[in-house]
Amino acid sequence: MIERVLIIGTGLIGASTGLALRTAGFSGRIDGWDQSSLELNAALQMGAVDGVVGNQWGALELARQADVVVLAVPVLAIKDWMQQLATVMGPDQLITDVGSTKLEITELAATLFGGKDQAIFLAGHPMAGKESGGALLAEASLFNGAMWLFTPTAAESTPLEKEWRSWVGFFGARSLDMDPKRHDEMCAWVSHLPQMLSTALAALLEDRFGDAPEIAAIGGRALRETTRLGASPYSMWRDVALTNTEPIAETLLSLEQRLTHVRENLRTPGLRDEFTLANRFRAKR
């Protein structure tokens, strides 16, 4: 039975996890830690966590006593915490994460967790978020209707893993188990490519037009939607780019080639074929 949860990283996803646990009826204790005292205090005031600790050592101390530790920091920080938690946690304790890429994390987990005398690690990734982060935007309903992916390494779930998966279900999320390599490749297409694309387009327009009032005056929903993710923070995406470089580069190269094809066919029936394919893609969604 999960009675004590420690959330490391009380930003948008971490704080929303705390709120979702509460709303779903979790009656145990939830502690939190974040390197930003602003995020941490915001999470505390919102009721996303019941208590906080003042530094990393305090967090490790709480991890010793927790049933579940949720790592809700960028991917490289997750890997760093995994190393530290491996030294203080043991069997009957679960570590789970919400990182955007899964291959490096599950490879590291295989060397640190899951053995005799070791804690259990369940790699997870809720497909939810906003273009801006931070505890203040956290919501109990963030995962409602969203997909929460898992990339388990063991064939069978332990009781603790099963219980954590039920909480995710109580959040209103659907879930799906995937191979971690496949996860990273698919997320490159459906999440990382749209992000890089939106960032590139917004950066290009900023470079080209800066403060030109016309862009703001005439740009409508098309511009707003295709550049919305341009507001996303580098701090999170740096780690995604570093831990999923090859798959992302592959999707970018494919899109570059596709745009070249469109450009070379603006006056040919090749453009019609592109619209036909795109219409078909959208008709299923």
Looking up tokens 């949720």 gives 70
Among 52, 89, 193, 239, binds a second copy (CB under 8 A): 193
- 157/265 with CB nearer a second copy: 265
Measured CA to CA in angstroms, residue 150 lies from 49, 111, 127, 259 at distances of 24, 18, 11, 33
Stretch that binds a second copy, among 42-50, 55-63, 83-91, 208-216 (CB under 8 A): 208-216
- 48/188 with CB nearer a second copy: 188
17 binds a second copy (CB under 8 A): no
Q: Least separation, in Å, of the C-beta of 204 and a second copy?
A: 5
**Residues sharing a CB contact under 8 Å with residue 165, sequence separation 6 or more, in sequence order:** 122, 150, 157, 175
Q: Least separation, in Å, of the C-beta of 89 and a second copy?
A: 30
Angle between helix 75-88 and 234-243 (nearest 10)? 80
DSSP code string of 24-43: TT--SEEEEE-SSHHHHHHH
- 8/122 with CB nearer a second copy: 122
Stretch that binds a second copy, among 46-54, 73-81, 116-124, 266-274 (CB under 8 A): 266-274
260 binds a second copy (CB under 8 A): yes
CA dist 108 and 85 (Å) reads 12
Site map (CB under 8 A) of a second copy, residues 225-244, x = contact: xxxxxxxxxx--xx--xx--
Alpha helices in 193-268 (DSSP H): 193-209, 213-218, 221-227, 234-243, 245-264
Contacts to a second copy from residues 72-131, by CB under 8 A: 127-129, 131
Contacts to a second copy from residues 161-180, by CB under 8 A: 174, 176, 178
Counted residue by residue, the chain has a size of: 285
